[in-house]
């Protein structure tokens, strides 16, 4: 049995790796608690429909990356690939849709069948924050500022930038979608095969393509700010004003998108140049249609998730460990006394 190793894309958290993991979670939980976010624990696996409905049947996560299986009762079960859908399902299942707002913090493992690389695993871990039931842009500012505060408290601000965009309201998004379809139809022959499929099902996802040819076309594609309704433009302006008031620096990036229709208004990412190709460390946005997508009432929501592995990789220092105290009996006759002293010391809360 000595040749048995962790399954590809997984790893053991031991020693400094575990201490870094715990420090990220403890720091985020503490700061989220100051902002009155309650910690929720949702199951690691869910009914597959929780994710197929919310992530989209044509998304890469659903078609290529989810760990789905039939259990012994014949039900389709999926290991959670992300945390937001489970939180929204829990909101509905536990009858909390009338008890708003709900401010939720979570932490735990997620699962995606991806090619393992630096900072990316098949079992990975995330922290996340969701604010459900508030439609105003100050809610977006609150969750963004919480993310920035966690990053600062972990001491990893060097080389980390907040990038911000708006997806507009449904009318803005519809007009923008039509403009993108028209533009990319004129260049269909130059699109990758994947993006030609996206052009039919979800053209906004072409903006996320990593294909070099696609990216060259995306550089000249229309940007959504030209299609914002007055209401959507006012929402975006108020968000930026709130961030400016709080002193949170940001860069506007019109290429940040979310491909699914329940996303609207705010999209944001904290990105870094210190992790190679895997540059996003915390990302989120507004998802006013997600709860309804899962069968609940229509209600607003905004939140983010962050990869603990990537945050840990950016940390340069670990917090000071607790002091080590040695109790050494000088003779066999003192063993019982030393044991009692040791137990007493271990019972003391050290601050």
Q: Tens digits of per-residue pLDDT, 103-120? A: 999 999 999 998 877 768
| 3-class SS shares of the chain: helix, strand, coil, % to 5 | 40, 20, 40
Q: Tens digits of per-residue pLDDT, 296-343? A: 999 999 999 999 999 999 998 777 777 888 999 999 899 999 999 989
* Nearest alpha-carbon partner for 219 in 228, 209, 227, 229: 209
Helix (H, G, I), strand (E, B) or coil at 125: strand
pLDDT band at residue 57 using 50, 70 and 90 as cut-offs: low
Strands (E), 85-225: 102-111, 123-132, 160-166
DSSP codes joined into one string, 258-278 = --STT-EEEEEEEEESSSTT-
- Give the pLDDT confidence score for residue 209 in this predicted structure: 84
For 35, counting Cβ atoms within 10 Å of its Cβ (0-12 exposed, 13-18 middle, 19+ buried), the class is middle
Q: What is the DSSP letter of 55?
A: H
pTM over 0.85: yes
- Give the pLDDT confidence score for residue 278 in this predicted structure: 57
Q: Check whether 351 has a pLDDT greater than 80.
A: no
* Nearest alpha-carbon partner for 128 in 114, 147, 151, 141: 147
Task: Name the CATH architecture for the domain at 16-160+247-320.
Answer: 2-Layer Sandwich (3.30)
Q: What is the mean pLDDT of the chain?
A: 91
Q: Check whether 75 has a pLDDT greater than 60.
A: yes
Q: Where are the domains of the chain?
A: 16-160+247-320, 327-351
DSSP codes joined into one string, 292-345 = HHTTS----EEEEEEEHHHHHHH---PPPPPPP-----SSGGGHHHHHHHHHHH
Which tokens sit at 299?
């209600």
Mean pLDDT across 31-46: 98
Q: Tens digits of per-residue pLDDT, 241-273? A: 999 999 999 999 998 988 677 889 999 999 998
- Give the pLDDT confidence score for residue 293 in this predicted structure: 92
Q: Which comes out higher in pLDDT, residue 78 or 201?
A: 78
- Give the pLDDT confidence score for residue 349 in this predicted structure: 63
Mean pLDDT across 134-157: 97
Distance between CA 160 and CA 105 in Å, rounded? 22
């Amino acid at each position: 049995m000595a040749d048995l190793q962790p399954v590809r894309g997984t790893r053991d958290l031991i020693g400094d790796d575990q201490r870094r993991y715990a420090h990220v979670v403890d720091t985020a939980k503490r700061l989220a608690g100051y902002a009155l976010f309650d910690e929720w624990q949702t199951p690691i696996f869910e009914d597959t429909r929780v994710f197929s409905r919310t992530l989209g049947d044509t998304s890469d996560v659903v078609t290529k990356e989810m760990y789905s299986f039939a259990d012994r009762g014949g039900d389709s079960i999926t290991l959670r690939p992300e945390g937001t859908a489970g939180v929204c399902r829990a909101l509905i299942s536990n009858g909390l849709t009338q008890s708003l707002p709900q401010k939720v913090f979570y932490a735990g493992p997620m699962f995606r069948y991806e090619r393992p690389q630096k900072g990316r695993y098949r079992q990975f871990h995330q922290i996340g924050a969701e604010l459900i039931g508030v439609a105003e842009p100050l809610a977006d500012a609150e969750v963004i500022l919480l993310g920035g505060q966690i990053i600062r408290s972990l001491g990893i601000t060097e080389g980390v930038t907040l990038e911000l965009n708006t997806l507009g309201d449904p009318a803005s998004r519809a007009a923008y979608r039509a403009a993108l379809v028209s533009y990319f139809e004129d260049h269909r022959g130059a699109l990758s095969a994947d993006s030609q499929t996206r052009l039919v099902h979800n053209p906004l996802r072409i903006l996320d393509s990593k294909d070099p040819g696609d990216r060259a076309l995306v550089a000249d594609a229309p940007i959504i700010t030209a299609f914002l309704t007055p209401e959507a433009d006012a929402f975006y302006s108020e968000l930026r004003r709130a961030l400016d008031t709080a002193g949170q620096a940001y860069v506007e990036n019109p290429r940040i998108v979310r491909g699914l229709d329940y996303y609207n208004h705010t999209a944001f990412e904290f990105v870094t140049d210190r992790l190679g190709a895997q540059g996003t460390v915390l990302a989120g946005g507004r998802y006013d249609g997600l709860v309804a997508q899962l069968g609940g009432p229509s209600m607003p929501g905004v939140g983010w998730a962050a990869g603990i592995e990537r945050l840990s990789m950016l940390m340069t220092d670990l917090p000071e460990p607790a002091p080590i105290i040695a109790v050494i009996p000088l003779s066999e006759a003192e063993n019982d006394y030393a044991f009692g002293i040791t137990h007493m010391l271990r019972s003391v809360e050290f601050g």
